[in-house]
Structure 1
């Protein structure tokens, strides 16, 4: 076996192992999802600005009924607006985030996995987020 085939085989095995390991471990909201939402979403989707009727500061607010339908449909990322707007082409008026850099594909995939797993989101302080502009006033 030549060196190029060996490298390709090793890369393939490493990728398969990584995919299997990622699928075996449930997504942790506090460690993996909350930082994405806090950094990229809550600044516009909070109790003060409430863009798109959406407040992502807590689980209760994120899952609140909206006229335009649910934002997160546990176990169904394809019907969850939170996931769908992240996958729209950048020039689409509904693409999120509306300003700044797009959320990296690996983080969008993590959100998809989290929703598919049931969108577990703790109540209380662990599941709550404050927009950056409010943190700086403290």
Structure 2
């Protein structure tokens, strides 16, 4: 029960009370599980190398190392609009792919349709991203 309450508090705090996050039909713990199993690996593989707190000045001012940075940094922040993937810059640039000058990642490895669907589902369900070390992105080993 404590994890459920904590998930709801984190969701409400991180998304600044966004109705899309607070009123989501999905359970915050379920969405957090989606983050850990599907979304975090995508962000760590394709994004964190350029969008960490050390490099953000070079790449649109965006760091996605933590939930707080992902929601407050970047020239076009917030890049994630909980509940609305089509308004979320993160989803848009991943959908464009590297063929488009605005698309990400810029490398030949494109985010797969399945990975893109996971990111979309996560945002649609409120984009719950755990605070602290559990949610911190790291470069793949």
TM-score scaled by length of structure 2: 0.71
Distance in 2 (alpha carbons) for counterparts of 1:67 and 1:115? 20
Corresponding residue number in structure 1 for 2:107: 99
List, as ranges, runs of 4+ consecutive aligned residues in structure 1 with deviation greater than 2 Å: 65-69
On the 8 A contact 2:94/2:111 being kept in 1, the answer is yes
Find the residue that maps to 1:67 and give its secondary structure: coil
- Partner of residue 83, structure 1: 91
Contact 2:71 2:77 (C-alpha < 8 Å) held by counterparts = no
- Deviation at 1:91? 2.3
Give the one of 23, 34, 52 matched to 2:60. Answer: 52
Aligned partners of 1:128 and 1:89: how far apart in 2?
A: 24
User: Counterpart of 1:36?
Assistant: 42
Structure 2, unaligned stretches of length 5 or more? Answer: 1-25
- Which one has a bigger Cα radius of gyration? 1
1:67 Cα deviation (Å)?
Answer: 3.5
Indicate if the aligned counterparts of 1:53 and 1:66 stay in contact, CA closer than 8 A. Answer: yes
Shift of 1:100: 3.2
CA RMSD of aligned residues (A): 2.1
Number of aligned residues:
111
Per the normalisation by structure 1, the TM-score is 0.72
Superposed, 1:1-138 pairs within 5 Å as 26=31, 28-50=34-56, 51-88=59-96, 90-132=98-140
Report how far residue 65 of structure 1 moved.
4.8
